[in-house]
Structure 1
Amino acid sequence: MADYRTEEQKSPIVLDYHNSLLRQSDVDLLDQPNWINDNIIGFAFEYFEKEQFSHSVDLIGYISPSVTQAIKFSSPEEVCIFLDPLKLHEKQYIFMAVNDQMSVTTHGGTHWSLLVCDRNQKEFHHYDSLRGSNRNIAKFLAEKLFTYFTVNAPEKSSQEKAGPQEDKNINAPEKSSQEKAGPREDENRPEKFCFQQKPCPQQENSYDCGMYVIIVCEHLIRTFVEACMLPLETAITMSCICKRRQNLKELIYQLKS
């Protein structure tokens, strides 16, 4: 009988972890000099969520690389289908890996970068280890998320819509003309889109971009929720990248056993 499986499907499964399925062909990419794929990055995000930073699951949200890729080619209505189940409106910080592949029919890509949404500050921050190569694609995705959050913002309760209750104290001071006029005009203006290209340690080769995404993401979460004070540029070095490849590989086999 003919075997119609792809070469990837023929590769034995190493780890089935929540929504991540890693095959031997994925794990082998952690050996240098290999460009890691969406499966490895997706696994790292899921491990952060389920294990390493599970104490901050109410603050941190992750969008998997596969969902991020789907969002690129989706209409605003379709974006809701992918993002609503993630309950991102409940998160303060949202992380997503950006790939430079802009073809619907072709897999792969040549570069990864990290996009972070700070919902409290209403800002999108882009970290790119290759001189901002993915800036335009990251901004395109950020605009899609901005539209999603703006259009699908949770409705205020009836009490919030009504505003503060009127003071029934007859001796209360009379409201000023400004208070009677209601909210200022700028309070009713639509939110402004804010996208910033952030400083990021730069890779020294053509294949470590995905590892930078994982390690920058990890460091930023530690900064946000664990009060890590070490600057990003100091925390991430080439030796750190090499070591982390091996650490990830060991972690995968440890979770398998």
Structure 2
Amino acid sequence: MVGVLFTIGDTNVYEQDLKSFEPGQWLTDNAISFALEYITSACEEPNREQKHIVYPCFTEALKHCSVEEVPIFLGNPEDLINKTLLVIVSDNTDPNEILGGHHWTLLMWHDDSKCFYFFDSMNGRYHNFVPKIARRIAEHMYGKGFQYTIDIKNGTQQENASDCGMHVIELCRTLMNSSIEEISNLKLDTNTLTEKRKNWIAIGHTLTNQELKKE
């Protein structure tokens, strides 16, 4: 495919996606999806089977699709029940702007407590579409009118205007491998995230070189 550096899982990664890992840049949806595909592939089997990621492209669709179309983007509800769902949310409100938005957050479904936990690295506020996404996911799994709660969680806060996507990636990394209680121990400063950005660029270059060798 023209312009694609490499493919991981269902995600095609382009040069602009890798460049978005440079310090001070806002991560693209593909950049976040690439990182999460990579983290998932490295996750131990039991943890991987108990978690399900709703990637940015599907979350965007859930904001604007009809109720009848929800199964297209979430799949079989029986495959989601009893799992922890990690839902990647941007603040984009324009269905015609694919790369729109200015902020990434994480919505986590915890099936045992029938609760969504919302993580925001800037002040812990959510926009009007977060309850809509939560309702669509819960009712897809358990039926219309199902009762659940949304709990805003306190967590590590970003120190600049561009690291929200990196916070989401590291939150997901922790939740893929540990329990929600471990989030309170997660401390992410700008220097730490700058090093992690460099690491993702290096991983991207390695995967790009592997792809070139196939040609």
**Superposition TM-score tier, normalisation by shorter sequence:** 0.7 to 0.9
Q: Which moved more, 1:203-212 or 1:136-145?
A: 136-145
What is the CA–CA distance in structure 1 between the aligned matches of 2:148 and 2:81, rounded to whole Å?
Answer: 19
Letter in 1 for 2:39: F
CA pair 95-206 structure 1, distance change in 2 beyond 3 A: same
CA pair 79-231 structure 1, distance change in 2 beyond 3 A: closer
TM-superposed CA distance for 1:239, in Å, is: 2.3
* Equivalent in the alignment of 1:92: 83
2:35 pairs, out of 41, 44, 48, with 44
TM-superposed CA distance for 1:65, in Å, is: 0.4
Summarize deviations over 1:183-221 as a string: whole Å, max 9, x none: xxxxxxx74221000012111111111111101111122
* Equivalent in the alignment of 1:28: 19
TM-superposed CA distance for 1:90, in Å, is: 4.6
Task: Report if aligned partners of 1:59, 1:90 keep a CA contact under 8 Å in 2.
Answer: no
Matched, 1:248 2:200: yes
* Equivalent in the alignment of 2:108: 116
* Equivalent in the alignment of 2:126: 134
CA pair 18-126 structure 1, distance change in 2 beyond 3 A: same
Letter in 2 for 1:198: K
* Equivalent in the alignment of 2:136: 144
TM-superposed CA distance for 1:33, in Å, is: 1.1
Task: Report if aligned partners of 1:36, 1:210 keep a CA contact under 8 Å in 2.
Answer: yes
TM-superposed CA distance for 1:240, in Å, is: 2.0
CA pair 79-44 structure 1, distance change in 2 beyond 3 A: same
SS of the aligned residue for 1:202 comes to coil
TM-score using structure 2 length = 0.86
Structure 1 residue runs of 5 or longer lacking an equivalent are 1-8, 153-189
Matches within 5 A, 1:50-61: 50-61=41-52
2:165 pairs, out of 207, 210, 231, with 210
Summarize deviations over 1:32-85 as a string: whole Å, max 9, x none: 110001001111221222233444222010111001100111122110121115
Letter in 2 for 1:119: D
CA pair 213-231 structure 1, distance change in 2 beyond 3 A: closer
TM-superposed CA distance for 1:231, in Å, is: 4.9
Q: Which moved more, 1:204-213 or 1:232-241?
A: 232-241
* Equivalent in the alignment of 1:64: 55
How many pairs align?
208
Task: Report if aligned partners of 2:116, 2:149 keep a CA contact under 8 Å in 1.
Answer: yes
Matched, 1:197 2:152: yes
Q: Which moved more, 1:40-49 or 1:85-94?
A: 85-94
Task: Report if aligned partners of 1:93, 1:117 keep a CA contact under 8 Å in 2.
Answer: yes
TM-superposed CA distance for 1:113, in Å, is: 0.2
Letter in 2 for 1:248: W
TM-score using structure 1 length = 0.73
Task: Report if aligned partners of 1:219, 1:232 keep a CA contact under 8 Å in 2.
Answer: no
Task: Report if aligned partners of 1:135, 1:197 keep a CA contact under 8 Å in 2.
Answer: no
Q: Which moved more, 1:52-61 or 1:208-217?
A: 52-61
Summarize deviations over 1:103-123 as a string: whole Å, max 9, x none: 122231111000100112211
